[in-house]
Chains A and B, each alone.
Chain A
Amino acid sequence: MTDYGVPIIETVDLKKNFGDLKVLKGISQKIFKGEVVSIIGPSGGGKSTFLRCLNLLEVPDGGHVYFEGEELSSKSTDLDLHRQKIGMVFQQFNVFPHLTVIDNITITPMLEKKVSREEAEAEAMKLLKNIGLDDKAKEYPRKLSGGQKQRLAIVRAMAMHPDVMLFDEPTSALDPEMVKGVLSVIQDLAESGMTCVIVTHEMGFARKVSDRVLFIDGGVIAEEGTPEQLFDHPQNPRTKEFLSQVL
C-alpha cells in the first residue's frame, strides 16, 4: 500500500544534457513507498535518462535528487550506501559473466555489507528457488537464457534488500517467449509491496501493475495519472498520438 509520508524518491527540477541536447528539461516528481510507477513514452524522450538519474548513474546537470529525504548529488552523501537501497535492473541484464549464478547474487552483500558467506548463500538459494533457478546455482550465466539472466539480475538486486527497484526496459532485449516470465517476477515484486519504477514499452503490463503512469516526452512529464486516466482518457494530444501508435 502506498504510504504518502516522506517520498522515497523525489526529484526537483531535474535537468540533464548530453552535449547540446537537452534530454531532461526540469522534472519534478515524488515517488512514495509502496507505489508502482510506470514510465512510458517515445524513444529518445528521456525516460531511461530520468530513471538513471534516480541512482545517479547519470549525474544531473541541474536540479536535485532526494532519496529518503537525503540529497544524492550532494558531495557529503555516501552514494554507495544509498545505492545499496536502490536496486536497478537493466535492459541488457548485465549479469557478471565471470561469476557463477550464486556468486552473482552473493558478491555484493559479502563485499559491501559484510554478510557471511553461509548467510549470503542461504539467502541466494532462497531467491533462486523463487525464480526456479536453484538448480543452476553453480552454472555460469552463459548457460542461461535471456529470460533467466534477467530474473537472475532481479534477484541479485533483491539480495541487497533495496527500498525501491528501478527497471530500465527490463524486457526489451528479450525474445518474445521470455517476456512473460520476467514480467511475472516483477509483478510478484510489485504486489509484495516493493516500490517500483518501471520504464517499459509493455503497455498492457504497465496498465495492470501500476498505481501511476508517467508519460515522458521531450524531456518533460507531458502527462501523468492512474492507468485508467492515462490509457483510457488521455488529455494531452501527444499522449493520445503516442498511445494510438503503440496500442
Chain B
Amino acid sequence: MGPSLLSVLLDYWPIFLKGLVGTLKYAFIAVFFGSLLGTLIALLNLSKNKILSAVGMIYVNVLRGTPLLVQMYIAYFFIPIAVPALNSVPKEVYVLLALILNSSAYVSEIIRGGINSVDRGQTEAARSLGMSAKNCMLKIVMPQAVKNILPALANEYIAMIKETSLAGTFMLYELMYTKTILANKFLVWQPLFIIAGIYLLCTLVLSALVQYMEKRLSVSD
C-alpha cells in the first residue's frame, strides 16, 4: 500500500498547494476571458441579423458539442503547425486558449438566458421613451440580467475548476498535474484521493457561497 494519505499530504503539501493555486488561477482566467468573449457571442446570438446569429449559434454548438479534451489537443498540436510564426509562444497558452473558448460558449448561453429573462416590457418601455438600443441594453436590460447571470457564472467557475484537470495532460501545473509529479516518487493512489478531496472541498465551499449570493440577490426583488 505504501505511505498513508495523511503522511503524503503532510510531506508534499506545498506541491498540492501549488497545484490548487494553478487550478484556481486557470479556472479564473478561463471564466474571466470566457465571459468577455461570451458576452460578444451572446450579443451575436441575440442579433436580429440572421448571418450574425447563425455564426454565434454554430460557435456555441461546435464548442459545446465536442469534448474539451479534443479541443485542447487541437489547440496544442494544430495551431503551432498551422501558424509556424507562433512557435515561440509557450504551448501552455494554447491549452488556456482552448479553456477560454470552451468557457465562452457556455458563458454566452448563460448571458443570453440572463438577457432573455428580463421582461420584454422593460425594453419596450425604454425604447418607447426614445432610448437607443445600446443605452437600453446597457442601462435597463443588463443591470437586471446581471442578477440572474452572476450565480450562473459562479457555477460555471465551479464547473471550470473541474474541467481544468484536463490541462494537467499538457503539463500545466494544476492540481491534477501533481499526480504526475508524485508518480515519480512511486506514489500512485494517495495523490489521487488527496486531489479528489481538494476538488470536492473547493466545489462544496464555492457552491455554498453561490447559494448565499443567490439569496442576497433575490432579497432586492
- Is A208 on the interface with B (CB-CB < 8 A)? no
Residues of A within 8 A of B127 (CB): 57, 80, 83
Q: Which among A3-11, A86-94, A192-200, A235-243 touches the partner chain?
A: A86-94
17 contacts between A and B (CB under 8 A): A57-B128, A80-B132, A83-B127, A83-B128, A83-B129, A84-B129, A86-B128, A88-B124, A90-B124, A98-B143, A98-B144, A107-B139, A108-B131, A111-B132, A111-B135, A112-B129, A157-B129
Query: Which A residues are closer than 8 A to B by beta carbons?
Result: 55, 57, 80-88, 90, 92, 94-98, 107-108, 111-112, 140, 142, 153, 156-157, 160
A108 near B130 (CB under 8 angstroms)? yes
Q: Which residue of A lies closest to B120 (CB)?
A: A94
Most buried by A among B129, B139, B140: B129
- Is B196 on the interface with A (CB-CB < 8 A)? no
> With contacts A98-B143, A112-B135, A142-B221 known, is A160 near B121, CB below 8 A?
no
Q: Which residue of A lies closest to B133 (CB)?
A: A80
A81 near B130 (CB under 8 angstroms)? yes
Closest CB of chain B to A114's CB: distance in Å? 12
**Given B132, B140, B220, which contacts A96 in the complex, CB threshold below 8 Å?**
B140
Counting chain B residues whose Cβ lies within 8 A of the other chain, the interface size class is 10 to 19
Residues of A within 8 A of B122 (CB): 94, 96
State the CA gap A112–B127 with chains docked (Å).
11
Q: Which residue of A lies closest to B128 (CB)?
A: A88
Q: Looking at chain B's contact residues, is the secondary structure mostly helix, strand, loop, or mixed?
A: helix
Closest 3 CB pairs of A and B: A84-B130, A94-B125, A88-B128
State the CA gap A90–B129 with chains docked (Å).
12
Closest CB of chain A to B221's CB: distance in Å? 7
A90 near B130 (CB under 8 angstroms)? no
Extra contacts, 19 of them, besides A96-B140, A112-B135 (Cβ < 8 A), are A55-B128, A57-B127, A80-B131, A83-B130, A87-B128, A87-B129, A88-B125, A88-B128, A88-B129, A92-B121, A94-B119, A95-B125, A96-B125, A96-B126, A108-B129, A108-B130, A112-B131, A140-B220, A153-B125
Closest CB of chain B to A143's CB: distance in Å? 12
State the CA gap A9–B130 with chains docked (Å).
17
State the CA gap A81–B132 with chains docked (Å).
9
Tell me the chain B residues, 100-153 only, with Cβ under 8 Å from chain A. Answer: 119, 121-122, 124-132, 135, 139-140, 143-144
A112 near B132 (CB under 8 angstroms)? yes
Most buried by B among A96, A156, A157, A160: A96
State the CA gap A97–B124 with chains docked (Å).
14
State the CA gap A88–B125 with chains docked (Å).
8
A57 near B124 (CB under 8 angstroms)? yes
Closest CB of chain B to A87's CB: distance in Å? 8
State the CA gap A87–B128 with chains docked (Å).
7
Residues of B within 8 A of A107 (CB): 139
B129 near A94 (CB under 8 angstroms)? no
State the CA gap A188–B166 with chains docked (Å).
68
